[in-house]
Amino acid sequence: MKNVSFLIPKISLCLIAVFLLGSCIKKDNFIQGDAKIRFFNTILADTSDFSLNDIINTRAVSYGTNSSYAIVAINSLDLGEMYKITATKTRSTTPGISIDQKLEIGKNYSVFYTKNIAGDSSILFYEDNLTPVPTKAKLLFINLGYTLGSKVIVRDSLSSFPETSYGYGEKSDYIEVDPTKTRIYFKLTDSVRQDSTLGKELVAGKVYTILIDGSVTGKLQKRLVPN
């Protein structure tokens, strides 16, 4: 009986060791982790579907809105995973447009379905940095206003960052501001109108994407997207 009792824990330890060893061995198609991706539609009067590798991931994203982050499986810890990203007008029989992008474990991405100044549809793809700064609001500006007649000047009341003008498709680096003290100003470079402002909506510890857009008539618009 003593021998049998002594063998049982040894056998159990061996089985646990085999299980742990097996779980460390990389297998084909084994999911190593995930990334997150969200989709924006910035085409006026449009509703769009977004697909990953020809499988619809998000349906009916209307103009001026975006999806929540969707989780995407990544099979390789070191190499990431290539995905074909496609945007198609909802209920359209016309093929959409696609780009191929590598997604990596633990990263967050934004996809923008838009038009260029010539009126052709396009997809822009960016990695998001969602690490907050407790005492500051972190901002990313991107100009997707294909109807605007000029670049857009962005500045703030405290000169927290250099005054910069952004043309279509241009974006800033992440900028940190004190939301309790500053105000953000936007103005078309060829406009004599008063600046459009932003500030009271900002909160410390939050990360924001600020979409610069244009109406059908070319009027400057902006949209604040908390991450």
Total-model pTM? 0.82
What average pLDDT score do residues 146-165 get?
94
Enter the DSSP assignment of 67.
Answer: P
Residue 222 bridge partners (DSSP): 212
- Tell me the average pLDDT of the chain: 87
pLDDT in tens, 36-64: 999 999 999 999 999 999 999 999 999 99
**For residues 60 and 77, is the Cβ–Cβ distance under 8 A?**
no
Report phi then psi at 187, rounded to 5: -160, 135
**For residues 48 and 87, is the Cβ–Cβ distance under 8 A?**
yes
The answer to whether domain 129-227 has CATH 2.60.40.2890 is yes
Q: What is the rounded distance in angstroms from the CA atom of residue 189 to the CA atom of residue 63?
A: 25
Residue 204: its pLDDT value, please?
96
Question: Predicted confidence band at 17 (pLDDT cuts at 50, 70, 90)?
Answer: very low
What average pLDDT score do residues 92-117 get?
94
Same CATH fold assignment for domains 22-128 and 129-227: yes
**For residues 83 and 101, is the Cβ–Cβ distance under 8 A?**
yes
Strand 164-166 to strand 152-156: parallel, antiparallel, or no bridges (unpaired)? antiparallel
Q: SS3 of 192, please?
A: coil
Q: What is the rounded distance in angstroms from the CA atom of residue 84 to the CA atom of residue 54?
A: 7
Residue 167: its pLDDT value, please?
96
Domain definitions of the chain by residue range:
22-128, 129-227
**CATH number for the segment(s) 22-128:** 2.60.40
pLDDT in tens, 105-134: 999 999 999 998 888 999 999 999 999 999
pLDDT at 27 over 50: no
